Structure 1
Amino acid sequence: MKQFLTGASAMLPNRSDYAGLGRTWRSDVVAGITVGIVALPLALAFGVSSGVGAEAGLVTAIVAGIVAAVFGGSNVQVSGPTGAMVVVLGPVVAAHGAGAVVIVAVLAGIVVCVAGVLRLGRTVTYIPWPVIEGFTAGIGVIIFLQQVPTALGVGPSGHHSTNAGVAAAQSVSQARWPGVLVPLAVVAAVAIVMGLAARLAPKAPASFIAIVVVSVAAIAFDLPLATIGELPQSLPAPQLPAVNLHMISSLAGPVFAVAALAAIESLLSARVASSMSDTGPYNADRELVGQGLASVFSGIFGGMPATGAIARTAVNVRSGARTRLAAVVHALGLVAVVYLAAPLVSRIPLAALAGVLMVTACRMIEISVIRQVLGATRSAALVFGVTAIVTVGFDLIVAVAIGVAVAAFFALRALSRTCGVRREEIPGPARSGDERIAIFRLDGSLFFGVADRVMQRVADHGGVDIVILRLSHLQHVDATGAHTLAEIVQALERAGVTVFIKGIRPGHLQVMTRVGALDALRHPNHLFDDLEAAVAAARGHLVHTG
């Protein structure tokens, strides 16, 4: 009970979350303002791109940003709407309408909270690096393709497919020239300004600068561009969504997909943040609870599901954030935008937001990292390629599952190859009949696929009547390996070869006993701790049997 209470208290906000705040509050405030400026255009763009509107993106950044900062497991994590979540929500909006996103946010948040309570936070560490990079690259491609209709000035009615690639192709075929030149010029201008800002002032909020420059120009020249439209000048009142069993069953797939994505992305972001700063380790389980609560409250206020945002978290760390105050300030800054600058924000061209997301998508696809993955091993390259292709063509969560499965296949194959099987000479002076005794030493891991290898080695040395299996050099034996040993013994005994086993490690003895590996021996006395005793017994057996 005491251990349970200790673990539960570790997942609740406490004073240590703000240790050193008296020394760091100035840098935290500066970092929070900086991240808020960076987050504004992204929150608006992700809200528009997902189909739920700029208001929902802004609400998500505010509500989820505060809740995750207070209840999450990282001291510097910044949460809000992300590109990966937009990729999942787009088809949900197309199939069920924008109202379904609120329900998905609340239900998925509950699922993520439960995962944290069940202490599933560390499972993300089992996702291989090539899977993560393939997943990230695939998301980058999808985000870019999702912006093509807006960049061409094609409204939502101009494309119908939920597949980003198909929708982009439809938009190209339906674009009206030369009218598309205006939104394309805006996208190009945003890309140029962001590129120049990044080069000339790396610490400046490039996306914010680009949005301001392009929006001012669009207003000054009265360009024919679609804009964000009217935004509320206050936060919406909290309201629980109406839910029934039919709706829950129809949204079950999206709910679990969103929950899995939120957990994966948030934990990856928290892990990256922990490696970037010395603000202390993150609590993975508490992070899940915090992110789950963030999505629940975001949905209650009319927002969308939230996750930890790697890009904004990185900006937060680089700007000097030391405590959770920075993420809270970031959210409060966005609140100020809602109450003080909503009329100005409403005039931002949608094409400008599309340009920001296109540049963001391109930055997600890091050519240097892709080269590292492709140049590492063939298996890593294949895992990367499969994950990226499935992400773009089918489904994000399925892509991660398939990527992990492919990586696991190669890992298991490599593990099975660590089991070496080699024949050794009988120690001491040779005696008559020794040619009928074979000693085989098994090294590494006893894994499936080894039985055929051992049997083949024995077959390659015909005329053997007794086989001594030396197991003292085995490093790993699981239930499958122990069962494999039983199959080896049984196969040899059926072939008329007597089997002696030498040197089972104490740590392996229990599993071998439980699966019946030792019962496969012809006699209990055929189990030895010493090689000399095993050889003596084998010689005696030959004499006895003639």
Structure 2
Amino acid sequence: MTLRDVLVRLDVRDLLPGRDDYDLRPRAIGADLLAGLTVGVVALPLALAFGVSSGVGPAAGLVTAVLAGVVAAVFGGSRFQVSGPTGAMAVVLAPVVAAYGLPSVALVTMLGGLIVLAAGLLRLGRVVTFIPWPVVEGFTLGIAAIIFLQQVPAAIGQAATVGGNTLVTAARAVADAAGALDALALDATTLWSLATVALVAALMLVLPRLHAAIPASLVAVVAATVLAEVTRAPVARIGTLPDGLPVPALPGVSTTGLGDLLGAAIAIAALAAIESLLSARVAASMVPGGSVYHPDRELVGQGLASLASGLFGGMPATGAIARTAVNVRSGARTRLAAVVHALVILAVIYLATGPVSRIPLAALAGVLMVTAFRMIGAGTIRAVLRSTRSDAATFVVTAVITVAFDLVEAVQIGLVVAAFFALRRVARASSVHREPLPGVAHEGDEHIALFRLDGAMFFGASDRILTEVTDTSVRENVLVVILRLSQLGMVDATGARALAELVGALEQRGITVLVKGVQPRHRKLMTTVGVLDELRHESHLFLTLDDAVAHARSHARRADEGTDVPQLDGRR
């Protein structure tokens, strides 16, 4: 039995590659080849830069761009997604490298890939839609800030503290450079590094305005490298690169190492899933007329991509929004474009490692600094901050925690903050209203209270509603309470239990409770937690308001007359 047969038995046929993934007409193939070449040129300096930034090294960035790029393109769920190393993943991976060393990268990469693959097989692709917009934008802003701050030491020719907080490390590097400037001892390395960053940034900002098709980042890096070579500038270079792909090897696994890295692997998997699915969604929205992507298959593809990358000594991979956008704008038709992009980088590995090894690190720092600025959409930030105070607070909290503490904690805390504000809004929208009895007034109506419950009866609002109904009923000497539940949109176990306690408390005070309009979808829960059992009689459950009011008036009249209220058999 082949692997495909096993997968088919598991009913995952929609997660497998098919002939429909490609358009083999000459015109479509030509468009994909051109788009892939364009993306490959754009991705090359980014792959190098993110490899260096993560602490794994430029070679790992290239390996990831090649292997993950091909595997994710073939097995992923988007026709336009371009995968490889990204800034967010570099930010997550850097502290792992600092804490556990380079040998841990392959293991944590493959563990993360297995988790993402499992998430795809378990059909968890739609989960990303539950992440609120302010959390996503706050996370993006924080990532952009970290990417920029990570490049500060290289940009000013200072050594970075390995494993330290990014903000603190950048501040120390600036302080050291400022001290040297005050002492008029700013060395040539710092001056040349700053000049290189300025040149790269200027070219990346100016060239696209001259012509949109110019690969600005690549031209900028080539220009900075040529200038550094001609002038023999004293700047740090990338250094020796392998002239081919490394031999695949399984990482060593120990019980202790596996336990230590599991938390990091979960964080990497969460980031890979979120970033890849968001990128695929953005790509689908960029295509004229829209496009369809398969979120579960995308997770399967990204999981397999990280497994392949880790096997060859690469780093975790995700869908890259910037490169995917370039792919779409370059006219890509199918997955072939992403495969070609990877082959372009593969050609560089085998044919041009010598020139690439001479690239100044400051040039890559300049590329990432500009990339970080482009990740920040001023219009988007203004829109979030002007939306609501709760969304603005969620956005700011997520961004600050991302920069100051930890990326995964930032998403977790951002979700908690967003959930808190959402629950508070739902709780405020959940209310109880005292309504007048319908029709002509009858004698004794003053002893009947009709309450309509709106919104949601859940743990955030149940106590307030219970208190309000009880206090009003006791204060006004009510004999019969009608609870109108037909307007309740949602009831959870806490809310249902609160209703049971409300009915029981009122009945113990001698107040008859009638319930009207229990929705069929809520009836099972209310029966389970005992709401209906607390009623004095099963006939006190009504489908129509008129029947409930007539029965309440009968109770009130008999109570005023001091006679017993007869119990009825059956339900109305």
1:492 to 498, 501, 506: 506
Residue type at the aligned position of 1:299: G
94-103 or 443-452, larger mean C-alpha shift: 443-452
Question: Residue in 1 aligned with 2:467?
Answer: 455
Q: What do residues 447-495 of structure 1 show as CA deviations (whole Å, max 9, x unaligned)?
A: 3314423532553462212110111222333333322322322232344
Distance 2:100 2:399 in 1: 27
Are 2:206 and 1:196 equivalent residues in the alignment?
Answer: yes
Are 2:6 and 1:9 equivalent residues in the alignment?
Answer: no
How far the C-alpha of 1:206 sits from its partner, in A, is 1.4
Question: Residue in 1 aligned with 2:527?
Answer: 513
Are 2:173 and 1:171 equivalent residues in the alignment?
Answer: yes
How far the C-alpha of 1:219 sits from its partner, in A, is 1.1
Distance 1:15 1:291 in 2: 20
Q: What do residues 268-326 of structure 1 show as CA deviations (whole Å, max 9, x unaligned)?
A: 11111111115731111111111011111101111111111011001000101110000
Runs of 5+ in structure 1 lacking a partner?
none
Question: Residue in 1 aligned with 2:484?
Answer: 470
Q: What do residues 366-425 of structure 1 show as CA deviations (whole Å, max 9, x unaligned)?
A: 111110000000110011011111111111111111111111111122222222321221
Q: Give the conservation status (yes or no) of the 8 Å contact 2:140–2:376.
A: yes
How far the C-alpha of 1:172 sits from its partner, in A, is 2.1
Distance 1:234 1:337 in 2: 9
Q: Kindly report which structure 2 residues correspond to 1:148-227, keeping only aligned pairs within 5 A, or say none.
A: 148-156=152-160, 159-175=161-177, 176=180, 177-179=185-187, 180-227=190-237
Question: Residue in 2 aligned with 1:236?
Answer: 246
Distance 1:155 1:87 in 2: 18
Aligned length: 544
From the superposition, tell whether residues 208 and 165 of structure 1 become closer, same or farther in structure 2 (CA, over 3 Å).
Answer: same
Residue type at the aligned position of 1:135: F
Distance 1:166 1:105 in 2: 27
Q: Give the conservation status (yes or no) of the 8 Å contact 2:7–2:13.
A: no
Q: Kindly report which structure 2 residues correspond to 1:439-454, keeping only aligned pairs within 5 A, or say none.
A: 439-448=450-459, 449-454=461-466
Are 2:360 and 1:349 equivalent residues in the alignment?
Answer: yes
Q: Give the conservation status (yes or no) of the 8 Å contact 1:421–1:454.
A: no
Q: What do residues 476-532 of structure 1 show as CA deviations (whole Å, max 9, x unaligned)?
A: 333333223223222323443221111112222122112211112122221111222
Question: Residue in 1 aligned with 2:86?
Answer: 82
1:281 to 284, 292, 308: 292
Q: Kindly report which structure 2 residues correspond to 1:329-340, keeping only aligned pairs within 5 A, or say none.
A: 329-340=340-351
Across the aligned residues of Structure 1 and Structure 2, the Cα RMSD in angstroms comes to 1.9
Question: Residue in 2 aligned with 1:417?
Answer: 428
Are 2:264 and 1:254 equivalent residues in the alignment?
Answer: yes
184-193 or 126-135, larger mean C-alpha shift: 184-193
Distance 1:108 1:260 in 2: 8
Q: Percent identity?
A: 59
Question: Residue in 1 aligned with 2:71?
Answer: 67
Residue type at the aligned position of 1:178: L
TM-score (norm 2): 0.92
Q: What do residues 338-385 of structure 1 show as CA deviations (whole Å, max 9, x unaligned)?
A: 111111111110000000001111111211111000000011001101
Question: Residue in 1 aligned with 2:565?
Answer: none
Q: Give the conservation status (yes or no) of the 8 Å contact 2:81–2:319.
A: yes
Question: Residue in 2 aligned with 1:540?
Answer: 554
From the superposition, tell whether residues 161 and 514 of structure 1 become closer, same or farther in structure 2 (CA, over 3 Å).
Answer: same
Distance 1:487 1:391 in 2: 43
Distance 1:451 1:377 in 2: 27
Distance 2:239 2:99 in 1: 24
From the superposition, tell whether residues 451 and 500 of structure 1 become closer, same or farther in structure 2 (CA, over 3 Å).
Answer: farther
Question: Residue in 1 aligned with 2:36?
Answer: 32
Residue type at the aligned position of 2:256: H
SS state of the match for residue 431, structure 1?
coil
Question: Residue in 1 aligned with 2:325?
Answer: 314
From the superposition, tell whether residues 321 and 279 of structure 1 become closer, same or farther in structure 2 (CA, over 3 Å).
Answer: farther
SS state of the match for residue 483, structure 2?
strand
SS state of the match for residue 154, structure 2?
helix
Distance 2:440 2:240 in 1: 95
Question: Residue in 1 aligned with 2:52?
Answer: 48
Distance 2:244 2:233 in 1: 29
Question: Residue in 1 aligned with 2:395?
Answer: 384
Question: Residue in 2 aligned with 1:367?
Answer: 378
Residue type at the aligned position of 1:192: A
Residue type at the aligned position of 2:524: Q
TM-score (norm 1): 0.96
Distance 1:425 1:524 in 2: 25
How far the C-alpha of 1:199 sits from its partner, in A, is 2.0
Residue type at the aligned position of 1:434: D
How far the C-alpha of 1:139 sits from its partner, in A, is 0.3
Distance 1:63 1:93 in 2: 21
Question: Residue in 2 aligned with 1:127?
Answer: 131
Q: Give the conservation status (yes or no) of the 8 Å contact 1:279–1:323.
A: no
Runs of 5+ in structure 2 lacking a partner?
563-572
Distance 2:546 2:175 in 1: 81
How far the C-alpha of 1:193 sits from its partner, in A, is 0.7
From the superposition, tell whether residues 299 and 531 of structure 1 become closer, same or farther in structure 2 (CA, over 3 Å).
Answer: same
SS state of the match for residue 443, structure 2?
coil
Distance 1:2 1:469 in 2: 55
Distance 1:483 1:457 in 2: 15
How far the C-alpha of 1:22 sits from its partner, in A, is 4.2
